[in-house]
Amino acid sequence: MPLKDLFQSADWKAEKHSPVIEIETVPEKGKPIIVSISIGKEIPHPNTSEHHISWIDLYFHPDGEKFPYHLGKYEFASHGASINGPNTSTIFSEPFVSVKFKTEKSGTILASSFCNIHGLWASEIKLEL
Protein backbone atom coordinates (compact mmCIF):
# COMPACT_ATOMS: atom_id res chain seq x y z
CA MET A 1 0.00 0.00 0.00
CA PRO A 2 1.44 3.44 -0.90
CA LEU A 3 2.25 5.68 2.08
CA LYS A 4 -0.14 8.38 0.85
CA ASP A 5 -3.05 5.94 1.20
CA LEU A 6 -2.37 5.57 4.94
CA PHE A 7 -3.13 9.23 5.72
CA GLN A 8 -6.63 10.14 6.85
CA SER A 9 -8.16 13.60 6.63
CA ALA A 10 -11.35 15.30 7.73
CA ASP A 11 -12.72 18.70 8.63
CA TRP A 12 -11.08 19.65 11.95
CA LYS A 13 -14.39 21.04 13.20
CA ALA A 14 -15.81 17.52 13.16
CA GLU A 15 -12.69 15.38 13.75
CA LYS A 16 -10.31 15.59 16.71
CA HIS A 17 -7.31 14.03 14.90
CA SER A 18 -6.84 16.38 11.94
CA PRO A 19 -4.02 18.92 12.24
CA VAL A 20 -5.36 22.47 12.45
CA ILE A 21 -3.06 24.89 10.59
CA GLU A 22 -3.48 28.58 11.32
CA ILE A 23 -1.52 31.46 9.80
CA GLU A 24 -0.98 33.83 12.70
CA THR A 25 0.59 36.79 10.82
CA VAL A 26 -0.31 38.68 7.66
CA PRO A 27 1.87 36.93 5.05
CA GLU A 28 4.38 39.18 3.26
CA LYS A 29 7.23 38.20 0.92
CA GLY A 30 10.50 37.82 2.80
CA LYS A 31 8.95 38.64 6.19
CA PRO A 32 8.59 36.11 9.01
CA ILE A 33 5.37 34.12 8.79
CA ILE A 34 4.13 32.54 11.99
CA VAL A 35 2.09 29.38 11.66
CA SER A 36 0.55 27.36 14.48
CA ILE A 37 -0.44 23.72 14.28
CA SER A 38 -2.62 22.02 16.85
CA ILE A 39 -4.67 18.86 17.17
CA GLY A 40 -8.19 18.91 18.54
CA LYS A 41 -9.14 22.58 18.29
CA GLU A 42 -12.93 22.13 18.23
CA ILE A 43 -13.08 18.63 19.73
CA PRO A 44 -10.26 18.03 22.24
CA HIS A 45 -8.07 15.02 21.53
CA PRO A 46 -7.34 12.81 24.55
CA ASN A 47 -3.90 13.34 25.98
CA THR A 48 -3.25 10.31 28.14
CA SER A 49 -0.60 7.63 28.30
CA GLU A 50 -3.01 5.31 26.51
CA HIS A 51 -4.22 7.73 23.78
CA HIS A 52 -2.15 10.68 22.54
CA ILE A 53 -0.61 12.51 19.60
CA SER A 54 3.03 11.45 19.21
CA TRP A 55 4.23 13.98 16.62
CA ILE A 56 3.42 16.68 14.06
CA ASP A 57 5.36 17.02 10.79
CA LEU A 58 5.26 20.31 8.85
CA TYR A 59 6.06 21.12 5.20
CA PHE A 60 5.84 24.10 2.85
CA HIS A 61 5.32 23.44 -0.88
CA PRO A 62 5.93 26.62 -2.91
CA ASP A 63 3.74 27.11 -5.99
CA GLY A 64 5.40 25.87 -9.17
CA GLU A 65 8.07 23.80 -7.41
CA LYS A 66 8.29 20.03 -7.59
CA PHE A 67 9.20 19.29 -3.97
CA PRO A 68 8.09 20.65 -0.59
CA TYR A 69 10.45 21.96 2.09
CA HIS A 70 10.44 20.16 5.42
CA LEU A 71 9.99 22.84 8.10
CA GLY A 72 10.25 20.47 11.04
CA LYS A 73 9.12 17.45 13.01
CA TYR A 74 7.84 18.12 16.49
CA GLU A 75 7.65 15.21 18.92
CA PHE A 76 5.53 15.13 22.05
CA ALA A 77 7.40 12.71 24.27
CA SER A 78 5.79 13.15 27.69
CA HIS A 79 2.53 11.22 27.99
CA GLY A 80 2.16 10.97 31.73
CA ALA A 81 5.89 11.05 32.40
CA SER A 82 7.11 11.55 35.94
CA ILE A 83 10.36 11.41 37.84
CA ASN A 84 10.37 9.55 41.11
CA GLY A 85 11.20 11.73 44.07
CA PRO A 86 9.68 13.73 46.90
CA ASN A 87 8.22 16.40 44.57
CA THR A 88 7.00 14.20 41.71
CA SER A 89 5.05 15.88 38.91
CA THR A 90 3.22 14.18 36.07
CA ILE A 91 3.79 15.86 32.70
CA PHE A 92 1.72 15.61 29.51
CA SER A 93 3.00 17.22 26.30
CA GLU A 94 0.27 19.12 24.42
CA PRO A 95 0.09 18.65 20.61
CA PHE A 96 0.67 22.29 19.67
CA VAL A 97 3.55 23.99 17.89
CA SER A 98 4.22 27.48 16.57
CA VAL A 99 6.70 27.90 13.70
CA LYS A 100 8.26 30.96 12.07
CA PHE A 101 9.64 30.87 8.50
CA LYS A 102 10.21 33.16 5.50
CA THR A 103 9.35 32.64 1.85
CA GLU A 104 9.21 34.65 -1.36
CA LYS A 105 6.44 32.51 -2.88
CA SER A 106 2.84 31.57 -2.23
CA GLY A 107 2.28 27.87 -1.69
CA THR A 108 0.70 25.21 0.48
CA ILE A 109 1.42 24.48 4.12
CA LEU A 110 1.00 20.77 4.85
CA ALA A 111 0.87 19.12 8.26
CA SER A 112 0.67 15.50 9.30
CA SER A 113 0.29 13.98 12.74
CA PHE A 114 0.27 10.57 14.36
CA CYS A 115 -2.21 9.31 16.96
CA ASN A 116 -0.93 6.19 18.72
CA ILE A 117 -4.38 4.55 18.32
CA HIS A 118 -5.91 6.08 15.17
CA GLY A 119 -2.84 6.44 12.94
CA LEU A 120 -1.76 9.08 10.45
CA TRP A 121 -3.69 12.28 9.74
CA ALA A 122 -2.99 15.16 7.34
CA SER A 123 -4.30 18.57 6.38
CA GLU A 124 -3.21 21.57 4.33
CA ILE A 125 -3.87 25.27 3.91
CA LYS A 126 -3.03 27.70 1.12
CA LEU A 127 -0.55 30.51 1.87
CA GLU A 128 -1.06 33.54 -0.40
CA LEU A 129 1.57 36.29 -0.54
Give the residue numbers marked as catalytic: 15-17, 45, 51, 115, 118
CA 58 to chain centre: 6
The answer to whether 37 and 45 are in contact (CB under 8 A) is: no
Torsion of CA 5, 7, 13, 16, to 10 degrees: 140
Of the candidates 118, 126, 98, 124, the residue with the CA atom closest to the CA atom of residue 17: 118
